[in-house]
């Protein structure tokens, strides 16, 4: 699985942003749930109080009807007048004169007066009818008529006859010329009434206008459009209010009645689904014991939460702005925290030996204690590393100088041994004058070798030392030895390690004299590809292949292990030159030995260009 690296800044930014988003979202959801539950609770309480108020107003209106009906029921005057009226009608069944007929028609006047006095001058009810079992209907109120009726054929008779001992409330319609259906609808309260001997006399009907009885409901609907519905229904499922009920109203009533938890003895608070909009509806049901009706007040959940939803949308917009501001703030906060770390990281990346040794200690000044302490610790570590590197460089420099001195010192006894051997041979041949010149040259050469000056000398000085050596050899070998030195003027001031060219000439003379004379030795100096090159040639037998192979094996071991071999007392010759070049120039050195095609061998050494200028050593390309 590939892991994508992430920065501390991105982790901090994402962490801060996630905490902010989750925290605000959590608080927002909690607030929304709390506010919605609070609104629903208050809405339940409000519509519960509303339904209670409506129930009281409805009971008040029905109580007026019931009071009038009870007054009729228990009024002996009314029952006496009815008995007298019925007796008069029975006596007047025979043919009568016109005066007798008028007298008979005036007989109910006392009954009318009693009923009018019972209803009262304020007319708390719209109409009172006495439906006598004798077949007469007497009306008082807006209709003061008297007419013959068949009670058993009336639409309300069956319901009233089945409830002889209690009141019956029914809706009825009448044709009074009004264009509005509701103006023709009335609420009628029916009761059986009897005479003082408990003999049934008829049915009393007390009526009130539908709009009057339900005026509070009608006004409530107009004043509170947020109310979804206000329904009044009986336990049988008949919708009392509104009179012009719809199929949807009847469906709601049916759902309420089919709810097994419905209990008409107490208030009900529940939710139902609107069959048309499928929205949740908050419902409270109030039961009236007086009318045995149920008052249902409903508020749509969507309507109820509409103010909260508007506030929520506004709050979401404001929250998003605040959230964006906090996220931007978290971005700058994370950058503020990680910027010192990035600066410290860049400082560590750019750290090198030069900056470690010479770079000044820069304060971080981040304003954060942890980062400043970390930077201070880094500065202290840098100082300690500087001291450690100084000590290491000093020890390495001293070690290198010791090796160079040891290698260079190896050349002294070797050269002295060869020189003394030459002087001995010359003494044997009684070459006294040559011996004197030889000793003088040897003295100068030993003074050059033993000088305490720096290990680097210019090539011209090294060539002069080599020429002194060749002078000594010419004294020994005479005309059998010829020497040629070809030095490019541009190379004369180049700085090289001391005693580099003379050992090569000595080595060439060693292998060259193995062949028959004359012996030729040439030294050539030049600059090739920004590097000084010294070539030493001879016309001898060349290098032995085994010795050449052994030499390159030693060189390969040094290159592979990067470790110089232990110095030996007799570790002379070409390997000594190679090691000193390796110690001084490293990978920039050049060393090559090979046999020439016809006769002889050539040894080539080289290194980068260094000039001695005004007391300091500089690269020629500077």
pLDDT digits (tens, 9 = 90+) for 173-212: 765 544 444 568 889 999 988 877 888 888 999 998 888 8
**What pLDDT is stored for residue 104 in this prediction?**
43
Mean pLDDT along residues 90-115: 55
Identify the pLDDT of residue 1: 45
pLDDT of residue 533: 94
* CB 270 within 8 Å of CB 44: no
What integer pLDDT is reported at residue 296 of this predicted model? 87
For 379-426, the pLDDT digits (tens) are 777 777 777 766 665 665 555 555 555 555 554 565 677 778 778 887
pLDDT of residue 98: 38
For the ranges 25-34, 350-359, 558-567, the maximum mean pLDDT occurs at 25-34
- Residues constituting the chain: 622
Residue 571 has pLDDT above 50, yes or no: no
Mean of pLDDT values over 533-545: 91
The Cβ of residue 61 has, within 10 Å, a number of other Cβ atoms equal to: 20
The pLDDT assigned to 321 comes to 87
For residue 399, what pLDDT is reported? Answer: 57
pLDDT reading at 118 higher than 80: no
pLDDT score for 484: 93
CA–CA separation, 5 vs 192, rounded Å?
95
Residue 347 and residue 361 in contact, taking contact as beta carbons nearer than 8 Å: no
The confidence score (pLDDT) of residue 275 equals: 62
Mean pLDDT to the nearest integer, 500-521 = 88
Q: For residues 586-590, give the mean pLDDT.
A: 87
202 contacts 187 by C-beta, under 8 angstroms: no
Tell me the per-residue pLDDT of 493-504, one tens digit each, with 9 for 90 and over.
899 988 889 889
Q: What is the pLDDT of residue 519?
A: 92
pLDDT at 227: 74
pLDDT value at position 456? Answer: 83
Q: For tokens 């006769």, what's the residue?
A: 599
Strand pairing category for 610-613 and 601-608: unpaired
Residue 616 to residues 61, 119, 457, Cα–Cα distance (Å): 125, 138, 13
Share of the chain above pLDDT 90, in %: 9
Q: Which pLDDT belongs to residue 599?
A: 87
Q: Please determine, for residue 522, whether its predicted confidence score (pLDDT) is greater than 90.
A: yes
Stretch among 296-300, 388-392, 592-596 having the lowest mean pLDDT: 388-392
Structure tokens at 199: 């003999």
- Of 38 and 278, the structure prediction assigns the larger pLDDT to 38
The band of 363, judged by pLDDT with boundaries at 50, 70 and 90, is low
- pLDDT band at residue 249, thresholds of 50, 70 and 90? confident
**H-helix or E-strand containing 156?**
none
What pTM, to 2 d.p., does this model score?
0.49
pLDDT band for position 483 (cuts 50, 70, 90): very high
Q: Judging by DSSP bridges, how do beta strands 616-619 and 146-148 pair with one another?
A: unpaired
Q: What is the mean pLDDT of residues 200-229?
A: 83
pLDDT tens by residue, 321-335: 888 888 888 777 777
The pLDDT assigned to 521 comes to: 94
The model's confidence at residue 486, banded by pLDDT at 50, 70 and 90, is: very high
Q: How big is the chain by its Cα radius of gyration, in Å? A: 66
**How does the average pLDDT of the chain come out, rounded?**
77
Residue 266's pLDDT is 52
CA gap 77, 565 in Å, rounded: 151
Q: What is the mean pLDDT of residues 139-144?
A: 83
Q: What is the mean pLDDT of residues 48-74?
A: 85
Tokens of 58: 């409805």
Given 3-state DSSP classes, what are the helix, strand and coil percentages for the chain, each rounded to the nearest 5?
A: 55, 20, 25
Query: Which of 81-85, 276-280, 290-294, 421-425 is predicted with the least confidence, judged by mean pLDDT?
Result: 276-280
Q: Which residues neighbour 212 within 8 Å (Cβ) at sequence distance 6 or greater? A: 61, 126
Q: Rounded to an integer, what distance in angstroms lies between the CA atom of residue 433 and that of residue 475? A: 10
Share of the chain above pLDDT 70, in %: 75
Residue 189's pLDDT is 92
pLDDT score, position 106:
44
Over the stretch 595-616, which tens digit does the pLDDT of each residue have?
A: 998 889 999 999 998 766 543 4
Burial label for 98, CB within 10 Å (0-12, 13-18, 19+), is: exposed
């Amino acid at each position: 699985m590939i892991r994508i690296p992430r920065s501390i800044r991105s982790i901090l930014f994402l962490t801060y942003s996630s905490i902010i988003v989750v925290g605000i979202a959590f608080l927002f959801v909690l607030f929304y749930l709390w506010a919605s539950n609070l609104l629903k609770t208050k809405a339940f309480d409000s519509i519960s109080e509303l339904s209670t108020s409506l129930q009281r107003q409805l009971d008040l209106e029905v109580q007026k009807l019931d009071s009038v009906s009870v007054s009729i029921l228990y009024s002996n005057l009314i029952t006496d007048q009815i008995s007298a009226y019925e007796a008069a009608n029975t006596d007047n069944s025979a043919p009568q004169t016109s005066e007798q007929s008028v007298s008979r028609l005036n007989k109910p006047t006392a009954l009318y007066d009693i009923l009018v006095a019972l209803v009262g001058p304020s007319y708390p009810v719209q109409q009172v009818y006495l439906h006598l079992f004798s077949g007469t209907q007497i009306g008082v109120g807006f209709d003061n008529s008297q007419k013959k009726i068949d009670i058993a054929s009336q639409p309300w008779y069956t319901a009233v006859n089945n409830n002889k001992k209690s009141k019956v409330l029914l809706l009825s319609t009448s044709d009074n010329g009004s264009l509005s259906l509701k103006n023709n609808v009335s609420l009628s309260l029916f009761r059986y009434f009897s005479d003082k001997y408990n003999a049934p006399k008829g049915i009393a009907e007390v009526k009130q206008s539908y709009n009057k009885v339900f005026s509070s409901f009608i006004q409530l609907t107009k004043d509170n459009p947020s109310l979804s519905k206000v329904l009044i229904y009986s336990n049988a499922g008949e919708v009392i209010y509104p009179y012009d009920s719809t199929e949807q109203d009847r469906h709601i009533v049916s759902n309420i009645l089919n709810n097994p938890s419905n209990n008409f003895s107490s208030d009900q608070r529940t939710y139902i689904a609107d069959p048309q909009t499928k929205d949740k509806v908050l419902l409270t049901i109030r039961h009236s014991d007086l009318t045995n009706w149920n008052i249902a007040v409903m508020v749509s959940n969507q309507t109820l939460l509409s103010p909260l939803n508007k506030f929520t949308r506004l709050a979401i917009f404001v929250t998003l702005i605040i959230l964006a501001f906090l996220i931007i703030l978290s971005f700058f906060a994370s950058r503020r925290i990680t910027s010192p770390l990035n600066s410290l990281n860049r400082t560590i990346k750019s750290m090198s030996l030069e900056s470690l040794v010479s770079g000044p200690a820069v304060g971080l000044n981040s304003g954060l204690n942890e980062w400043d302490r970390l930077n201070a610790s880094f500065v202290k570590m840098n100082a300690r590393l500087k001291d450690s590197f100084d000590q290491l460089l000093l020890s390495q420099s001293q070690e290198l100088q010791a090796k160079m001195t040891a290698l260079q010192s190896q050349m002294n006894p070797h050269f002295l041994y060869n020189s003394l051997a030459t002087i001995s041979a010359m003494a044997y041949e009684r070459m006294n004058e040559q011996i004197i010149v030889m000793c003088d040259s040897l003295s100068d050469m030993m003074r050059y070798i033993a000088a305490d000056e720096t290990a680097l000398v210019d090539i011209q000085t090294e060539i002069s030392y080599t020429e002194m050596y060749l002078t000594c050899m010419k004294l020994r070998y005479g005309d059998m030895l010829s020497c040629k030195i070809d030095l490019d003027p541009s190379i004369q001031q180049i700085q090289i390690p001391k005693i580099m060219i003379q050992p090569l000439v000595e080595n060439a003379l060693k292998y060259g004299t193995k062949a028959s004379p004359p012996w030729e030795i040439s030294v050539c100096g030049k600059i090739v590809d920004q590097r000084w090159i010294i070539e030493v040639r001879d016309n001898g037998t060349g290098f032995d292949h085994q010795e050449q192979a052994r030499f390159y094996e030693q060189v390969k071991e040094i290159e592979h292990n990067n470790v110089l071999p232990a110095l030996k007392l007799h570790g002379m010759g070409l390997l000594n030159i190679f090691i000193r070049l390796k110690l001084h120039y490293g990978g920039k050195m050049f060393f090559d030995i090979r046999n020439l095609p016809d006769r002889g061998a050539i040894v080539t050494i080289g290194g980068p260009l260094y000039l001695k200028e005004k007391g300091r050593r500089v690269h020629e390309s500077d």
